[in-house]
Amino acid sequence: MKQLVLASHNLGKLAELQAMFSSLGVELISQSILGISEAPEPYHTFVENALSKARHASQHSGLPALADDAGLCVDHFGGGPGVQTAFFATLFGYPKSDDNNVRALLEQLEGQSNRRAALVSTLVALRHPDDPEPLIAVGRLGGDIAQSPRGEHGFGFDPVMVIPHLGATLAELDPAHKNALSHRGQAAQKMLSLIKDNWL
């Protein structure tokens, strides 16, 4: 296996996962480069949506596929926005973007003392679209939502996700440190082990 199609158009996600998967000697190719549209994500759990995305990418590329479904789960929202994280800002009248998601989140948490949240990443890998034995890895990083954005690195909610034992947001960390610690980093390390043990 020399190539994996990444079922995402998110360049930040591609860069992070490429760095994490470099030790496998496998090239990650974004589905956007192959002209593959985004898959429907009609489900309420990360694992179901990741599986849908991986099947779609594998079917349209003819390659093994890797998909990540990730999101922010906030205690105050009963675990939301969860799988709807990418569209969180649109619920409050803002256009879809990372900056607007952060803006909407801070507005909705204004005055709230419970700012506990977790970033969750679920990775699914398939050898082919009908693979009966998908590889599944989950990473979870708990923390607190900052009062305002801090830091210059990362993307998404990184500028407001404070890691309590570090006293810093993910965006304030060196990218290599963040990748080792993050929800996606945790899931990627588990996935690397699964691929080595089961596919290579």
- Domain residues of the chain, as ranges? 3-198
Cα separation, 157 vs 155, whole angstroms: 6
Establish how many alpha carbons lie within 13 A of residue 100's alpha carbon, considering only the half-sphere containing its beta carbon.
12
Which option is the CATH number for 3-198: 3.40.1030.10, 1.20.1050.140, 3.90.950.10, 3.40.50.280? 3.90.950.10
Residue 189: name the closest of 104, 109, 121 by CA: 121
Say how many C-beta atoms besides its own lie within 10 A of residue 62's C-beta: 11
Mean pLDDT of the chain: 93
Q: What is the pLDDT of residue 92?
A: 96
Residues recognised as catalytic: 69
Nearest partner of 18 among 192, 143, 197, 196, judged by Cα: 192
As a whole number, mean pLDDT of residues 109-137 equals 97
Q: What mean pLDDT comes out for the span 27-31?
A: 92
Task: Note the pTM of the prediction, 2 decimals.
Answer: 0.89
pLDDT tens readout for residues 154-191: 889 999 999 999 999 999 999 889 888 989 889 999 99
